[in-house]
Amino acid sequence: MAAPLTSKLLVSDFASSVRHIPLTYVRPISDRPQLSLVENSGDTIPLIDLRDLYGPNRTKIIRQISHACSTYGFFQIRFTSDRSARLKTTFSRSNERLKAVDSTTRSSSPTVWLNQRKAHQIKNHGVSETTVNKMLTVAREFFHQPEGERMKHYSADSTKTTRVSTSFNVSADKILNWRDYLRLHCFPIQDFINEWPENPVSFKEITAEYATSVRALVLRLLEAISESLGLERDHISNRLGTHAQHMAFNYYPPCPEPELTYGLPGHKDPTAITVLLQDQVSGLQVFKDDEWIAVYPIPNTFIVNIGDQMQVISNERYKSVLHRAVVNTEKERLSIPTFYFPSTDAVISPAQELIDGQTSPAVYKSYPFVEYWDKFWDRSLATASCLDAFKASTT
């Protein structure tokens, strides 16, 4: 492990008192974010309208999901806005209004609402703006607590199911990352809620509500992604064993030298899918066509990305894409990814339906998910994929 030149373990506890970042955070010149290059690229990830996912436009939306997953590995969806949901029940859905909403986004794709008008069909599958705002607020409060309160949960042991830590994997990172985090398991909730932080006092209740409603959204997305691959709706869900859900609360303090370090270096997620909530501070970048593109925050949207397990199940029709988080001098940044996984006992392999001996042979062999998981945590965060070890033999 690279020990920082400070007695503080968490970045939060020394960031504001240094004018230069400690050497243990400085990347070699060949591996720096080159922030000025990123700002200029005009591309962005698709924004997909899930409003009619259970209506007559389902096929069209599924096609958009397929395109986003195969081209970017990323897309954004807007979650239910409480206010707009109320408005929508009193106003007719005029084109004018939809256009007005569209113009607030940078994307040319249609805007999306997880429409509460269809609540009878998609009951409990939206995530309310109130739930999301409470989640962001209490997460920020968590990191603003005194050092002693946060350090109660500190551990470098990646097998612990609730812990505060820093960087990515302090036991393996040679260069540290400008990030602190709280990571916890949240499905099945009753197995883990007792170990979650007691403070702030509303933390458990708000996190439980958020995790439950994001899980409902994930299940819906897994169905849509299955269909987009030409599989039965419940195919992916059935392949994930009894399922697992984790959350991270990533806290990136302002950094005096953001061009020398990362919040999180380029990596691919170990998940089936990840649903990221971020605050209004930019930082996420996605690798596309040999360039890093910035994902500017759009209010009330989640960012969804394909993880390594989906890459395997889809037999590489959908790829897990490199992404990273950069930091800035001005503002703290908070992001809350929900990581959705197979349970450790699940056996992962490409879907039979997507294997064709001639044109698309199985790219991966079957493996118990736990083998992948152990490999993932046995190392530092790296751009090289953990999946190479699970390739089917080419003979």
| Rounded Cα gap, residues 203 and 186, in angstroms | 13
Q: Which does 304 bind (CB under 5 to 8 A by kind): ligand OGA, Ni ion, none?
A: none
* 316 near Ni ion (CB under 5 A): no
* 180 near ligand OGA (CB under 6 A): no
Q: Which does 116 bind (CB under 5 to 8 A by kind): ligand OGA, Ni ion, none?
A: none
* 335 near ligand OGA (CB under 6 A): yes
Kindly state the greatest CA–CA separation across the chain: 63
Cα 17 to its chain centre, rounded Å, is 30
Q: Which helix (H) or strand (E) holds 87?
A: helix 82-90
Nearer to ligand OGA, 32 or 118 (CB): 32
Neighbours of 231 (CB within 10 A): 20
Query: Of 239, 243, 317, 323, which one interacts with ligand OGA (CB under 6 A)?
Result: 323
Q: Which of residues 214-273 bind ligand OGA (CB under 6 A)?
A: 248, 250, 264, 269
**Count of residues that interact with Ni ion, criterion CB under 5 A:** 1
- CB-CB contact of 347 with 312 (8 Å): no
Q: Which of 177, 106, 172, 182 is nearest to 141 (CA)?
A: 182
**Count of residues that interact with ligand OGA, criterion CB under 6 A:** 11
Query: How many alpha carbons lie under 13 Å from residue 312 in its C-beta half-sphere?
Result: 29
Return the sign of the alpha-carbon dihedral for residues 20, 25, 26, 31. Answer: negative
Query: Of 284, 298, 321, 354, which one interacts with ligand OGA (CB under 6 A)?
Result: 284
Return all residues near 183 (Cβ < 8 A) that are at least 6 apart: 162, 163, 164, 165, 246, 247, 248, 249
Q: Please, what is the minimum distance in Å from the beta carbon of residue 131 to ligand OGA?
A: 20
Q: Please, what is the minimum distance in Å from the beta carbon of residue 103 to ligand OGA?
A: 26
255 to 284: interface string for Ni ion, x by CB under 5 A: --------------x---------------
Q: Which does 273 bind (CB under 5 to 8 A by kind): Ni ion, ligand OGA, none?
A: none
Q: Which does 325 bind (CB under 5 to 8 A by kind): ligand OGA, Ni ion, none?
A: ligand OGA
Q: Which among 63-71, 187-195, 278-286, 359-367 is the span making contact with ligand OGA, rule CB under 6 A?
A: 278-286
CA separation (Å) from 337 to 135, 182, 276, 303? 12, 11, 4, 9
Q: Which among 28-36, 86-94, 276-284, 286-294 is the span making contact with ligand OGA, rule CB under 6 A?
A: 276-284
Return all residues near 61 (Cβ < 8 A) that are at least 6 apart: 48, 49, 50, 52, 53, 224
Q: Please, what is the minimum distance in Å from the beta carbon of residue 274 to ligand OGA?
A: 6
Return all residues near 91 (Cβ < 8 A) that are at least 6 apart: 97
* 48 near ligand OGA (CB under 6 A): no
Q: Which does 33 bind (CB under 5 to 8 A by kind): Ni ion, ligand OGA, none?
A: none
Q: Which of 173, 337, 191 is nearest to 251 (CA)?
A: 337
Neighbours of 217 (CB within 10 A): 24
Nearer to ligand OGA, 187 or 249 (CB): 249
* 11 near ligand OGA (CB under 6 A): no
Q: Which does 248 bind (CB under 5 to 8 A by kind): Ni ion, ligand OGA, none?
A: ligand OGA
| Rounded Cα gap, residues 314 and 194, in angstroms | 36
Q: Which residues bind Ni ion (CB under 5 A)?
A: 269
Q: Can you give the binding site for ligand OGA, defined by CB under 6 A?
A: 248, 250, 264, 269, 278, 283-284, 323, 325, 335, 337
